[in-house]
Structure 1
Amino acid sequence: MVLIGLAGGLLVGTVVGLVGAGGAIIAVPALVYVVGLSPEEAVPTSLVVVGLASIAGAIPRLRSDVSWPLVLIIGLAGIPASWAGAAAGSLLDPDWLMLIFAGIMIVAGLRMLSVSRPSGRPPTASSARNRGTLALRGIPTGLAVGFLTGMLGVGGGFLIIPALTLLLGLPIPRAVGTSLVIISINSASGFAAHLEDLSIDWALTASFAAAAMAASLTAARAAHRLDDAVVGRVFAVMIFAVALGVLLQTVPALLRQEPAPPEAPAPQAQQAPQTQPAGISASLTVSRLSIGERSVNLVISNGTETDLEITAAALDSPWYTGPAPWVPADGDGTTVRPGGRVALPAALPAAVCAGGTDPSGADSSGDNAASVRLTLGDGSTHSVAAPDPYSSLAGVHGQDCLQQAVDEVAVIALPAGLGVSEDGRSTVISVAVTPTGGDGSLTVDAIGTTTLITEAPGKPWPRQVEISGNDAPSVLELHIVPMRCDVHALAEDKVGTRLPLEIEAGGYRGQVRLEPPPEFTAAVYEFVRSACTQ
């Protein structure tokens, strides 16, 4: 993991130090597709790395190659925009997020090519001194760059550099120095916008950032000896290649996705106490770290001026057969300070499903008339409305209903071990399909790869498999090879042995991840270690 971080940091820092842009264009895809982080983890990690690399690259340029009026205009405009971008990014599917990133990369490559060619007009001193021109052209640039910084983890230098050179007439060296300072500001603001639900590997980030800062400082000192046009063209070709790789990863996944089933009216909500104390609010989220767990976080905020002592809590929702209780780990409850908040994990009961429709009558905002019952330290019980702003509970409920529909047709299970390997570099997973004997049916549209395993070359996995409830038991054979062989793959694995199946059943369509028995997980880890040393 540390070696990968060092190598990635050297590449990112060199690019940032030379051209004043583009570090995140390389960092985010590397963190997602090489290291194996999710986009949600890669974006804040990239902001730390690129921000620190930009500071290092700016140091040799601070005296003569920074336009501080433009730093002020573009940097200040980007701060609120980065928060808006972070909010927008949290609403996007990770595959769509990476697809947008690929589009931005293509734009970045085209921009770098345009900067590497003569603009056809020399810079004018009057345009650089005109404050009205600076504001008119700098503020929209700052807003666009800040939004992309918060949403995608990019510093925005690929937009800043063309704007500074083509629109505001700055020479390339001064544009690079100004861009680096702006990127530092935007990265700090974008990272702050992700603090609320931060998920980051600090060991990886530290190694990545240290190498990036050293490389950026060195490259910045050597930049004046290199031809700007040649550097720009080489960088453009590099990011075109990375964009192509991202497209090849995301487009097939998006094509397999189906729209969510329509919603329909449903049963009446469960009864709960009707008093809501002033200053206390609740919302629902699902932790990205709760892989394979059927739980939801009850986020309680204390807007009062006194401590809030919570001894018990439960979620009431018409989507589930009963309340979802929070059980205190120590049995003593928890205390929330004034202005603070706490996330209480609640285990979900069985879902109420209606054959492909939403039983709650929820609207597009994810509101399903859910509420949280709180028992306070004084013994009083209160009901607090619990909105679901990011459709977190809606997503879990959809998965629950799909799983119910699948279980009514067949039990699909991973084995306790792996098949015999002929050459040590590949092996076979025998997925057991045991029909339940009912009249229903389902279709396995596709079986997805994981962060650890993928299809063996020339031996594609089964697709469009029809399974009926009265079929005989069968086996799906998957010939596998390791997806990647870096140390980080096994050390930080969370979903590498949970095989994703794209399934349509009972009017529902979506992804079901097969839960691996411990023996299967151990066998996969041992296979990956062995195959990667062949």
Structure 2
Amino acid sequence: MLFISMILLGAVIGFVGAGGAGVTITLLTVGFGVPIHTALAVALASMTFTMLSGAYSHFREHEVVVKVGAIIGGGGVAGALLGAAVSDHMPSDDLSFMTGLMILSSALILYVKLYHADWLNHHLHGRRTLLTGRKLYIYGIPTGIVSGFLAGAFGIGAAAYIQIALMVIFGVPLLQSIGTCMMIILPISASGGLGYLVSGHLDMWIFLQTLAGLTVGAWIGAKMTHLAPLPLLKASIVALPTIGGGIMMLFH
């Protein structure tokens, strides 16, 4: 049942293209009674493989700003390991509540980006050129640490936060921000998953079923994305993490 459910969820994630980690955590904990720490470990470990595929694809299309991604991702490794260590000492109820809250906050950011892009562009005056030199390290490493901590502690990729930071602080264009974000999340999810593995929270059987189901389902769902009306696609992108985060907070 877990494998079949992950195929169905993967199809939805592949169709929508966002919010997968949070909903995966919700399905594991609320749907199958998996302990929250194990669910976070599985989500991060699974994310490593999906980000590897996505980042490589974007890299081949020259849609990754490698230096920016490497610096932020490097800081993210330290943050993810710290986040996983902090999460390990948090009570399950508190961790579930905070994870749900983080998923809902990412849904809010997605909503603003999709439905109020003009307002966002007006109020967030992003750089028009790429950030370089010493400032890239001064801003990049702390950004990575914070993003990595959020991902490591609460099992989500923090993609919504990272993409906005890339555009506003680092001057990365929108199209390249997507691929660069995937490059950043790759070391974050790998190190966070490793942190949970060391602490004994990663259940390999649950992980393998989750990864296989999501991979198959996402491939199916991605084939349907171009067939969907744009309003339905936008609504689905916001609805997926909203439902996942809401359920997580209600049943924590």
Q: What is the TM-score with the length of structure 2 in the denominator?
A: 0.83
Q: Which amino acid aligns with 1:98?
A: S
Tell me the equivalent position of 2:12: 11
Say if 2:157 and 2:185, in contact at 8 Å, map to a contact too. Answer: yes
What secondary structure, in the 3-state scheme, does the structure 1 residue paired with 2:247 have? helix
Q: Which amino acid aligns with 1:104?
A: M
Q: Which amino acid aligns with 2:64?
A: V
Tell me the equivalent position of 1:33: 30
Shift of 1:219: 6.9
Distance 1:181 1:228 in 2: 27
Shift of 1:45: 0.7
What secondary structure, in the 3-state scheme, does the structure 1 residue paired with 2:248 have? helix
Tell me the equivalent position of 1:416: none
What secondary structure, in the 3-state scheme, does the structure 1 residue paired with 2:28 have? helix
Tell me the equivalent position of 1:380: none
Tell me the equivalent position of 1:81: 79
Tell me the equivalent position of 1:523: none
Q: Which amino acid aligns with 1:28?
A: I
Tell me the equivalent position of 1:514: none
**Residues 134-174 of structure 1, C-alpha deviation per residue, up to 9 Å, x if partnerless?**
33433232111111222122222121112122333333321
Distance 1:184 1:228 in 2: 29
Shift of 1:206: 1.9
1:51 paired residue among 48, 71, 87: 48
Tell me the equivalent position of 1:197: 199
Structure 1 pair 52–42 and aligned structure 2 pair: CA distance change class (3 A)? same
Distance 2:48 2:6 in 1: 16
Shift of 1:122: 7.8
Q: Which amino acid aligns with 1:238?
A: L
What secondary structure, in the 3-state scheme, does the structure 1 residue paired with 2:102 have? helix
* Higher normalized contact order (CA 8 Å, seq sep 6+, divided by chain length): 2
Distance 1:38 1:180 in 2: 27
**Residues 301-352 of structure 1, C-alpha deviation per residue, up to 9 Å, x if partnerless?**
xxxxxxxxxxxxxxxxxxxxxxxxxxxxxxxxxxxxxxxxxxxxxxxxxxxx
Say if 2:45 and 2:190, in contact at 8 Å, map to a contact too. Answer: yes
Answer yes or no: is 1:181 the counterpart of 2:183.
yes
Distance 2:113 2:214 in 1: 24
Alignment of 1:218-237 (within 5 A): 231=233, 234-237=236-239
Tell me the equivalent position of 2:174: 172
Structure 1 pair 215–173 and aligned structure 2 pair: CA distance change class (3 A)? farther
Distance 1:239 1:132 in 2: 36
Shift of 1:195: 2.1
2:248 paired residue among 237, 246, 249: 246
Shift of 1:97: 0.2
Distance 1:226 1:67 in 2: 30
Distance 2:72 2:225 in 1: 24
Structure 1 pair 226–103 and aligned structure 2 pair: CA distance change class (3 A)? same
Distance 1:221 1:132 in 2: 43
Distance 1:124 1:25 in 2: 30
Question: Structure 1: where are the runs of 5+ without partners?
Answer: 251-534
Distance 2:183 2:221 in 1: 16
Say if 1:27 and 1:46, in contact at 8 Å, map to a contact too. Answer: yes
Distance 1:176 1:246 in 2: 27
Answer yes or no: is 1:62 the counterpart of 2:63.
no
Say if 1:115 and 1:165, in contact at 8 Å, map to a contact too. Answer: no
Q: Which amino acid aligns with 1:137?
A: Y
Tell me the equivalent position of 1:346: none
Say if 1:45 and 1:205, in contact at 8 Å, map to a contact too. Answer: yes
Shift of 1:39: 0.6
Say if 2:151 and 2:157, in contact at 8 Å, map to a contact too. Answer: yes
Shift of 1:88: 0.8
Distance 2:49 2:202 in 1: 16
Structure 1 pair 26–151 and aligned structure 2 pair: CA distance change class (3 A)? same
The 10-residue stretch of structure 1 (215-224 or 187-196) with the greater mean CA deviation from structure 2: 215-224
What secondary structure, in the 3-state scheme, does the structure 2 residue paired with 1:92 have? coil
Q: Which amino acid aligns with 1:87?
A: A
What secondary structure, in the 3-state scheme, does the structure 2 residue paired with 1:194 have? helix
Shift of 1:58: 2.4
Shift of 1:248: 1.6
1:113 paired residue among 111, 133, 142: 111
**Residues 277-318 of structure 1, C-alpha deviation per residue, up to 9 Å, x if partnerless?**
xxxxxxxxxxxxxxxxxxxxxxxxxxxxxxxxxxxxxxxxxx
Shift of 1:101: 0.9
Structure 1 pair 237–93 and aligned structure 2 pair: CA distance change class (3 A)? same
Structure 1 pair 175–58 and aligned structure 2 pair: CA distance change class (3 A)? same
Tell me the equivalent position of 1:23: 20
Say if 2:11 and 2:220, in contact at 8 Å, map to a contact too. Answer: no
CA RMSD of aligned residues (A): 2.9
What secondary structure, in the 3-state scheme, does the structure 2 residue paired with 1:168 have? coil
Identity across the alignment (%): 22
Choose between structure 1 and 2: higher helix proportion.
2
Structure 1 pair 177–161 and aligned structure 2 pair: CA distance change class (3 A)? same
Q: What is the TM-score with the length of structure 1 in the denominator?
A: 0.42
Distance 1:180 1:173 in 2: 12
Distance 1:222 1:130 in 2: 39
Structure 1 pair 227–61 and aligned structure 2 pair: CA distance change class (3 A)? farther
Tell me the equivalent position of 1:253: none
Tell me the equivalent position of 1:388: none
Distance 1:164 1:229 in 2: 26
Shift of 1:232: 5.4
Answer yes or no: is 1:42 the counterpart of 2:39.
yes
Tell me the equivalent position of 1:97: 95
Choose between structure 1 and 2: higher strand proportion.
1
| Number of residue pairs the alignment of both structures matches | 245
Tell me the equivalent position of 1:483: none
Shift of 1:11: 3.3
Distance 1:154 1:140 in 2: 18
The 10-residue stretch of structure 1 (172-181 or 37-46) with the greater mean CA deviation from structure 2: 172-181
